[in-house]
Structure 1
Amino acid sequence: MPVSTVTTLAIPSIGVRALRVVGYTGTADDKPGTVIQDRGVFASPRGPAGGVGPGEIGNFIVTGHRTTHGRPFGRLPQLKNGAHVLVSANGTVYDYVVGRTMKISFRKPAEKAQQNAAVPGRPGVAPTAAMLTLSTCATPEDHAVGNYWKDALNNPEHRINKIATLVATRPAS
């Protein structure tokens, strides 16, 4: 799916309503993605080091701020398994269902690779399903245990990732 496609994401169970997802060529939480997130929308890295578009086989990665810039993923850690994530693009609604949580450290390249893998959590494994990784910072959790480390782009050490699988598609109404 082209990076320029207008895409929105909604998560009814935590109050996220049709917020724009901006696709770009890059990797999760890089400088271009941070600039996009700083506008209060979601960023979606695409390409060889990023992910795929909505509904495609592989890992559709969506990142968003949790504690700043409108807090679009402010409640993401509360998202429960079984919750639906609705992505709209090109006249289609893609219905993903959350199945697990994966926490990673930005200080550990092997863990960061799990977030960006074509099969979330399994670098090097060929994808056979359309997956979704929703990713945000674990700043409050890190600060609660005295961890104030940040990378050059102000990302905290840990990320919270909710992993979902595509279960249905339907025409947008």
Structure 2
Amino acid sequence: MTSLRVVAYNGTADDRPGTVIQNRRVAASPRGPAGGVGPGEIGNFIVTAHRTTHGRPFGKVPQLGNGDHILVTHNGYVYDYVVVRTMVISFRKPAEKAQQNAVVPGRPGEVPTRAMITLSTCATTEDHAQGNYWKDELDNPEHRIDKIGALVATRPAT
């Protein structure tokens, strides 16, 4: 099990404030109208971190598979999410970025009914293997790998 500090901020996934947080070797969690929710809340708890730089905190996220557990400890509780699918989105396609930031991951406009998590990290290795070296102004590669999980249990932390 790996422990990683997650810093909440007002914004959207992979914006400048979130990138500054990620560059400190921690994970960033956007909140607010254009961001996500907190752990255990109904909606999309989005967590972003670097995979190939700045300590590689999400270095193994692409290896997560359906059925794998993601445990989040917050305010005296452990939230147990199970990975249910993987999305690969393009930063060059606004409709795909909207899927990552949607309150129901992958389904913009849908009303949330349960607590979900999106772990999002770069697909730099995969993009480079295909000859794609495009980057945005924050050095994000074209594609992101998003692991989507659903909350299956909540229990007091011990």
Compute the TM-score of the two structures, normalised by the length of structure 1.
0.90
Q: Which amino acid aligns with 1:148?
A: Y
Distance between the aligned counterparts of 1:38 and 1:58, measured in 2? Answer: 26
CA-based RMSD of the aligned residues comes to: 0.5
Matched AA of 2:51: R
Question: In structure 2, what residue type is equivalent to 1:168?
Answer: A
Kindly indicate whether residue 139 of structure 2 is the aligned counterpart of residue 154 of structure 1. yes
Secondary structure, aligned partner of 1:18: coil
User: Which deviations, in whole Å up to 9, do the C-alpha atoms of 1:85-107 show, x marking residues without a partner?
Assistant: 00011100000000100000000
Partner secondary structure for residue 88 of structure 1: strand
Return the alpha-carbon distance in structure 2 between the equivalents of residues 167 and 25 of structure 1. Answer: 27
Correspondence for 1:7: none
How many pairs are equivalent?
Answer: 158
Given candidates 89, 92, 96, the residue that maps to 1:107 is 92
Take 1:149 and 1:18, find their aligned partners in 2: how far apart are those partners? 31
Correspondence 1:143 to 2:118: no
Could you give the per-residue CA deviations for residues 6-29 of structure 1, whole angstroms, max 9, x where no partner exists?
A: xxxxxx3xxxx2210000000000
SS in structure 2 of the partner of residue 140 of structure 1: helix
Question: Offset at 1:80?
Answer: 1.0
Q: Does 1:98 align with 2:83?
A: yes
Does residue 125 of the first structure (1) align with residue 78 of the second (2)? no
- What stretches of structure 2 of length at least 5 have no aligned partner? none
SS of the residue corresponding to residue 159 of structure 1 reads: strand
- Paired with 1:126 and 1:150, the residues of 2 have a C-alpha distance of 32
Cα deviations across residues 52-74 of structure 1 (Å, max 9, x unaligned)?
00000000000010000000111
Among the aligned pairs, what percent are the same residue?
79
Structure 1 residue ranges, 4+ long, deviating more than 4 angstroms after superposition: none
Partner of 2:24: 39
Q: Structure 1: give runs of 5+ residues left out of the alignment.
A: 1-11
TM-score normalized with structure 2 length: 0.99
* Equivalent position of 2:5 in the other structure: 20
What letter is aligned with 2:74? A
Cα deviation, residue 75, structure 1: 1.1
What one-letter code is carried by the residue in structure 2 that aligns with 1:143?
Answer: H
**Equivalent residue, structure 1, for 2:36:** 51
What residue in structure 2 maps to residue 6 of structure 1? none
Alpha-carbon separation, structure 2, partners of 1:80 and 1:150? 27
Counterpart position of 2:149? 164
Matches within 5 A, 1:62-73: 62-73=47-58
1:88 equivalent to 2:73? Answer: yes
